[in-house]
């Protein structure tokens, strides 16, 4: 059984509000995403917790029985996290990440860890996505920072979702007006062999692909960003990597091309029977859940 703590929090909020829309707002997620998380909890438990036929919603008899268990589990986890914060035991964590996430997401994680868990330090190991996964499999790192991929879950890894990510179709602002009406647009692509390359390719329909004239490809988003900034073409770049350039209007979104929204970033680990490692995982994920990485 693989139950995420955020599902328990979702369930308890829903049991209080008795309204999916309001509960989703309080948990800062969309209602469809919130509903999927409740369904995932019910699937893991093998029973229905919510009676959706009533107005307002009500708990099933199984939901009523499970409510104190959910409260108890979260209470125990919070206590463990507090003990972790209080301990003087210093832990160095090895985190593997791709270049894109190492630059865009890892500094935010480190900032949270140093503020909430000052005795934890982190060693960053940068590699391509496949090599990062190998580092985790071979126990040469503690955690893997990666885009959410169902293939990783099939390996039995424990996962903590850090947040949603958008890929935005952008170009140098001075070129946007001409390119968004052009029949062919110079296109800077991710290499087809990497995760982002497969993701973008699967998201684009044939009509969109017919407008793209690929001029270069790279395995790194920051390399594509550099080429975009030099006016060599347009690319789908992670929103977190171009926030400053969008604010300063150096880059602009090209209308006529869709954002790619079906991405999220997660932290993975191999489940361990080591109590200390489990306590640190609980404390770290609790700290990250209570902080804003945006």
Secondary structure of residue 113 in the 3-state scheme: helix
Convert the pLDDT of each residue in 108-156 to its tens digit: 888 888 887 777 788 999 988 888 889 998 989 999 999 887 777 777 8
Tokens 């503020």, located at residue: 115
User: What local confidence, expressed as pLDDT, does residue 286 receive?
Assistant: 79
User: What local confidence, expressed as pLDDT, does residue 75 receive?
Assistant: 83
User: What local confidence, expressed as pLDDT, does residue 163 receive?
Assistant: 86
Convert the pLDDT of each residue in 29-54 to its tens digit: 899 999 999 999 999 999 999 999 88
Distance CA 130, CA 153 (A): 15
pLDDT-based confidence at residue 277 (cuts at 50, 70, 90): confident
Convert the pLDDT of each residue in 157-167 to its tens digit: 888 988 888 99
Cβ atoms within 10 Å of 131's Cβ, excluding its own: 12
Checking if the pLDDT of 195 tops 50, the result is yes
Environment class of residue 162 by beta-carbon count within 10 Å: exposed (0-12), middle (13-18) or buried (19+)?
buried
Convert the pLDDT of each residue in 165-176 to its tens digit: 899 999 999 999
pTM: 0.65
Q: Are 104 and 110 in contact (CB under 8 A)?
A: no
Average pLDDT over residues 21-33: 90
User: CA nearest 105: which of 269, 228, 241?
Assistant: 241
Cβ atoms within 10 Å of 259's Cβ, excluding its own: 13
Comparing 76 with 18, the larger pLDDT belongs to 18
CA distances from 54 to 18, 19, 33, 57, 59 (A): 10, 11, 21, 5, 9
Convert the pLDDT of each residue in 229-251 to its tens digit: 999 999 999 999 999 999 999 99
Checking if the pLDDT of 88 tops 50, the result is no
User: What local confidence, expressed as pLDDT, does residue 293 receive?
Assistant: 57
- The β-bridge partners of 96 are 125, 144
pLDDT-based confidence at residue 289 (cuts at 50, 70, 90): confident
Domains of the chain: 5-84 (1.10.10.10), 90-164+264-289 (3.40.190.10), 166-262 (3.40.190.10)
**Cβ-Cβ contacts under 8 Å for 118 (sequence gap 6 or more):** none
């Amino acid at each position: 059984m693989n139950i995420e703590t955020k599902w328990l929090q979702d369930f308890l909020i829903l049991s209080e509000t008795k309204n999916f829309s309001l509960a989703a707002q309080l948990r800062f997620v969309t209602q469809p995403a919130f509903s999927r998380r409740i369904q995932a909890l019910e699937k893991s438990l093998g029973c229905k917790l919510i009676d959706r036929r009533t107005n307002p919603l009500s708990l099933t008899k199984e939901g009523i029985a499970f409510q104190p268990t959910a409260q108890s589990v979260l209470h125990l986890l919070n206590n463990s996290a507090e003990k972790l914060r209080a301990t003087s035991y210093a832990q160095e964590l090895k985190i593997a990440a791709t270049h894109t996430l190492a630059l865009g997401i890892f500094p935010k994680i480190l900032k949270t860890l140093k503020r909430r868990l000052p005795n934890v330090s982190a060693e960053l190991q940068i590699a391509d996505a496949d090599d990062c996964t190998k580092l985790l499999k071979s126990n040469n790192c503690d955690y893997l920072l990666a885009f959410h991929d169902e293939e990783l879950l099939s390996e039995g890894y424990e996962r903590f979702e850090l947040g949603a990510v958008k890929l935005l179709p952008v170009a140098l602002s001075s070129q946007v007006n001409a390119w968004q009406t052009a029949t062919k647009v110079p296109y800077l692509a991710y290499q087809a062999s990497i995760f982002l390359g497969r993701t973008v390719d699967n998201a684009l329909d044939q009509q969109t692909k017919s407008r793209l004239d690929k001029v270069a490809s790279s395995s790194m988003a920051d390399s594509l960003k550099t080429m975009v900034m030099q006016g060599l073409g347009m690319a789908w770049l992670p929103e977190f990597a171009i926030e400053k350039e969008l604010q300063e209007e150096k880059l602009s979104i090209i209308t006529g091309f869709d954002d790619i929204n079906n991405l999220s970033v997660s932290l993975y680990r191999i489940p361990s029977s080591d109590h200390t490692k489990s306590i640190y995982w609980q404390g770290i994920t609790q700290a990250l859940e209570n902080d804003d990485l945006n």
